[in-house]
Structure 1
Amino acid sequence: MAKQERAVRTRRLILEAAGAVFDEFGYESTTIAQILARAGVTKGALYFHFASKEELARGVLGQALTIEGILPQESRLQEWVDVGMVLAHRLPGEPLLSASIRLSADRKARDLFGTSWPAWIDFIAGQLAEAKAQGEVLPHVDPGATATLFVGAWTGVEILATAHGESGALEKRIALLYDTFLPGVAVPGALRNLDTAPDRGARVWKAHQAQKAQQEQQEAQQEAGSQEEAAAATTA
């Protein structure tokens, strides 16, 4: 078990290093030597998990669609907002996420291994379809077409915000993106109740982290209790 956990940690370490280097230099200019230096692992360890730079890029893209930190809401539209806002909050500090966008926008790179966009579009289209079934979305709205347009807009906003380098710019601009999109998507009653404040992602992520810490603490206590019971049964 310890060996398996160590392998999982090593793989994650390599992916994070690859993400940081891809994000900084782009796919074509990145070398395996740079990733090795950033990860601090041996060449053998890297090739045990990833056979090539292309496979590393695919691994980074596999981390792109993340719904971690999205707490269940009664409103599916609010969950859609939360997905984009939490990602906007996390992305500036997580090169692994940022690299997935850069790789997707790199024409030469995406010719080799595609992009993260289709999975993201499908996920958002599903959220919008559920919201429509709940009566939150205007009748004329096409979930698939809207999701495609939104992902394109979100990506463009992220690229512009990153280029300007303003602190907190991405969260502010993604909040504005939702405020611009939603009146054409949501029924008035649902629209009034949506939270699209720029700090929405930070608040949801903080609540998720607290919930996750509490769950881990409970699991640790349960495991300790089970070990005590096993020890008691052995000595009985």
Structure 2
Amino acid sequence: MARQERAIRTRESILEAMASLFVEVGYEAATIAALLERTGLTRGALYFHFPTKEAMARGVLARAVTREGVRPQKHKLQEWVDLGLLLAHRLPREPMLRAAVQLSVDPKARSLFGTRWPDWIDVGEDLLVEAGKRGELLPHAVPAEIARLAVGAWTGVQLVTEVLPENRDLSEEISRLYRLILPAVARPGILAELDLSPCRGERLLGPAADAGAPVADGTPA
């Protein structure tokens, strides 16, 4: 068991180190030699876990789609919003997530192993379908369309925010995105009860949430 736990920790450390390299220099320029220097591993130890750089990239992408921090709420639309706000809070702080986005927009990397955008769309669509069944959406709102366009908009906002000279906060920008989207798809009574605060992602992952305390659902938008 101890050996297995060490192997899991080593595998995780390799992925984290390679993710940092992908963020810093891109997929093409990230080399095995640089990874070995960063981790202190031998080639044999590295190849025991990952035989190629492509395998490591796939490992990074596999961690991209997560509902960590999303808790059951009164409204499924709140859970859908929480999904995006949590990612906005975590992405600047977690190289693994940043690397996954970078790999997804890199033409060379994308041609080799695709992206996880379809999976994000599916996760969002599932929540939106449930929201529709509960009467939270306007009659014209189509969950599949909302999920697809929201993922595209979220990604675009993240990429633009990252290069703007004003050092804008991603959580604030994503909060603004939801404030633009939701009036067009959510019933007014539901919209008034949604918490779209840019601080919500941080609260969901904060000490109170870790301790099991509920995170309020109902702060007016």
Q: Which residue of 1 aligns with 2:10?
A: 10
TM-superposed CA distance for 1:162, in Å, is 1.2
Q: Which residue of 2 aligns with 1:222?
A: none
TM-superposed CA distance for 1:166, in Å, is 5.1
Summarize the Cα distance change of 1:209–1:162 in structure 2 as closer, same or farther, 3 Å threshold: farther
TM-superposed CA distance for 1:11, in Å, is 0.8
Report the secondary structure of 2:211's partner residue.
helix
Q: Which residue of 1 aligns with 2:212?
A: 211
Which one has a bigger Cα radius of gyration? 1
TM-superposed CA distance for 1:123, in Å, is 0.5
Query: Matches of 1:79 and 1:179 in 2, distance apart?
Result: 15
TM-superposed CA distance for 1:116, in Å, is 1.1
Contact 1:64 / 1:100 at 8 angstroms: preserved in 2?
yes
Greater shift in the superposed pair: 142-151 or 29-38: 29-38
Contact 1:58 / 1:113 at 8 angstroms: preserved in 2?
yes
Query: Matches of 2:118 and 2:53 in 1, distance apart?
Result: 22
Q: Which residue of 1 aligns with 2:55?
A: 55
Query: Matches of 2:201 and 2:161 in 1, distance apart?
Result: 16
TM-superposed CA distance for 1:17, in Å, is 0.7
Query: Matches of 2:19 and 2:209 in 1, distance apart?
Result: 24
Structure with the higher helix share, 1 or 2: 1
Cα deviation 1:90-124 (Å, max 9, x = unaligned): 11111100000000001111010000101001100
Greater shift in the superposed pair: 41-50 or 112-121: 41-50
TM-superposed CA distance for 1:45, in Å, is 2.0
Instruction: Kindly tell me the number of residue pairs found equivalent between the two proteins.
Output: 212
**Counterpart check, 1:45 vs 2:51:** no
Cα deviation 1:110-145 (Å, max 9, x = unaligned): 010000101001100111001111111112111111
Query: Matches of 1:60 and 1:43 in 2, distance apart?
Result: 19
Contact 2:161 / 2:167 at 8 angstroms: preserved in 1?
no
Unaligned runs of 5+ in 1: 213-236
Query: Matches of 1:19 and 1:127 in 2, distance apart?
Result: 29
**Counterpart check, 1:70 vs 2:37:** no
Cα deviation 1:147-178 (Å, max 9, x = unaligned): 11110110011111111265561011000011
Q: Which residue of 2 aligns with 1:226?
A: none
Report the secondary structure of 2:140's partner residue.
coil
Q: Which residue of 2 aligns with 1:111?
A: 111
Contact 1:75 / 1:131 at 8 angstroms: preserved in 2?
yes
Amino acid at match of 2:142: D
Where do residues 108-147 of structure 1 align in structure 2 (5 Å cutoff)? 108-147=108-147
Percent identity, aligned pairs only, is 54
Query: Matches of 2:163 and 2:22 in 1, distance apart?
Result: 16
Unaligned runs of 5+ in 2: 214-221
With structure 2 as the length reference, what TM-score do the two structures score? 0.92
Contact 2:86 / 2:201 at 8 angstroms: preserved in 1?
yes
Where do residues 129-208 of structure 1 align in structure 2 (5 Å cutoff)? 129-164=129-164, 169-206=169-206, 207-208=208-209
CA RMSD between the two structures = 1.5
Greater shift in the superposed pair: 110-119 or 68-77: 68-77
